[in-house]
Amino acid sequence: MYSSRLLAVTMALVIAMAATLRQASAQELSPSTQTEPATASAPAPTWLAGVPASVANRSYSPRPAPAATTAIPPGWKELVDESLGYSLAVPANWLTFDLQSGDLDRIAGLLGGRAASQQLRQYMATPAGENLGLLAVDPDPSELFARPPFPTFLNVSVAHFPDGVTDEQWVALVEESITALGEARIESARLGTLNELPVVRAAAVYQLGAQGAGLTAHLDITIVRADQAAYTLVIATRLSNALAKRIVIHQIVQSFRPVPSEQAAVAEPAQTPAEDEAQPGSSTSAPAASLPRFWIPIVDARLGYSLAVPFNWLAFDLQAENLDQVTGLLGDETAAQQLQAFLDTPEGEKLGVFAVQSDPESMYTVPIFPSFLIVSTAPLPDDLTDEEWLALTKKSISSWGDTQLITAEMGTSNRLPAIRAAAVIRLGDQSHLLTAHLEITVLRANHTAYLLTIAARPDAAAANQPVIEQIVDSFRVE
């Protein structure tokens, strides 16, 4: 997978950077590079604005990290890596992983499968692997479900910075590390400062796959120097998205700061969005249910219900969103157009929230079929008995196509009459056949049936059952 390849590129950049720094440390500097420029000649203007010319091109001695806390954009979450000693911030909906935690199975699909995660696991077991820090992924559906899938992501690594390296040598080391990747073209590499620390900012274009059939990635590379350590931030995105992601990339980089160990022990890594943050496009009022920690409340004021989903699910209001955002999920533009045509009908007006689990394993398994939830409503006649309601529900499920009903039972949920049903449905043709498991909950209130349908691959249904129960328990009629 392309994301697997680019993570390998990131690892290669870490290895190349560490190797060139070790090489620079081992080499004996020439007398001209060991001494500062003579006062009679002005230093070369290699630094960006804000750095006095008198300090340019000199060899830096270790300096402490700044104590001031950097500004974090509203709604973002701060991540603190205590083991490697740094912090930064990313948007609240980004998925974050600690590569040192050993739980690499969580991101096996994101890496391209368990074989790729095993390769990373082997690398993490080496001394060089101890330098890899946090991985953060933007769950933008237009990138996750594109053809080929390639989400914007960030990785941080740390390496020892040798004494006696001048500005020119430092930039040369960065350029050498990027060039070592192979199909990479350096766009820029400049010296500057970041939060009062010396830094090299570089940009490169990297070609993945064959020309014309592959993917061109944009690499934004920042190397921060503090306390004889080089902190490398690599942010990768599609080249076509580089301009649109520029502000987010800038804000992430600006939020970075080294964290001394005594400060890191106090801070807690924020791995999820704030609990009281509602999804875009939904009401800000929270459902009445007691939500699991870090879940996202969703309120559909138009159809009159509320529920909650885990923080890493992507939620869309089908009546309000631009369906271009979910084109990849639907398969192609034709499917999106068909959905839009249905939404324009009276029946389409009864469709509500559409939420998708951003599980990397399912996103990169062909055919793509992530677990998802869709809510819809339908009117119910006043004199409908429980037996008639159950029969009507079974008939409705059978009408969906090649469906086999497993169970359908009457009960209650949050003091409302409810029918819980399970079924399997076969999708696609014989050459691309997929069997999906359906968990269906129908609740009855105010002469209306509220239908929650959660679909998943059969092999994921059992693992999803606790989440499904919590989603159903969170449902409230407003």
The answer to whether residues 247 and 306 belong to one domain is: no
Backbone CA torsion sign across 270, 354, 103, 84: negative
- DSSP string of 62-100, one letter each residue: P-PPP-SPPP--TTEEEEEETTTTEEEEEETT-EEEEGG
Domain assignment of residue 286, yes or no: no
Per-residue pLDDT tens over the stretch 345-363: 888 888 888 888 876 556 5
Q: Residues 6 or more apart from 233 whose CB is under 8 A from it?
A: 88, 154, 155, 156, 220, 221, 222, 223, 224, 252, 253, 256
Question: DSSP character for 61?
Answer: P
Burial class (CB in 10 A: 0-12, 13-18, 19+), 425: middle
Co-location of 184 and 44 in the same domain: yes
pLDDT of residue 285: 37
Q: 156 lies in a domain? A: yes
In a shared domain, residues 320 and 421: yes
Q: Assess whether 35 and 173 both reside in one domain.
A: yes
In a domain, 418, yes or no: yes
Tokens representing 172 are 């040369």
E strand spans, 161-196: 184-194
**pLDDT at residue 62 is higher than 60:** no
**159, 232 contact by CB (below 8 A):** yes
Q: Kindly state whether residue 288 falls inside one of the protein's structural domains.
A: no
Q: How many domains does the chain have?
A: 2
Say which CATH number the domain at 361 has: 3.40.1000.10
How much is the pLDDT for 466? 86
Radius of gyration (C-alpha) of the chain in whole angstroms: 26
Residue 262 pLDDT level (bands cut at 50, 70, 90): low
Is it true that the peptide bond before 280 is cis, omega within 30 degrees of 0? no
Instruction: Give me the domain span that covers residue 11.
Output: 2-264
Do 65 and 172 sit in the same domain of this protein? yes
The verdict on 228 and 373 lying in the same domain is: no
- Do 381 and 246 sit in the same domain of this protein? no
252 shares a domain with 373: no
CB 464, CB 458: distance < 8 Å: no
- Condensed to tens digits (0 to 9), the pLDDT of residues 395-449 reads 988 888 888 899 999 999 888 999 999 999 887 666 667 788 899 999 999 889 9
Instruction: Tell me the pLDDT tens digit for each residue of 215-255.
Output: 888 999 999 988 788 899 999 999 988 888 999 999 999 99
Shared domain check, 150 and 215: yes
pLDDT score at 419: 93
Cβ 163 vs Cβ 24: under 8 Å: no
For residue 214, is it within any domain?
A: yes
Tally Cβ neighbours within 10 Å of residue 184. 19
Same domain, yes or no: 234 and 304: no
322 belongs to a structural domain: yes
Residue ending a domain, among 240, 264, 288, is 264
Residues 327 and 205 in one domain: no
DSSP state string for 416-438: EEEEEEEEEEEES-GGG-EEEEE
Structural contact between residues 444 and 424, judged by C-beta atoms closer than 8 angstroms: no
Query: Are 94 and 235 contained in the same domain?
Result: yes
pLDDT given for residue 414 in this prediction: 86
Instruction: Report the SS3 class of residue 286.
Output: coil
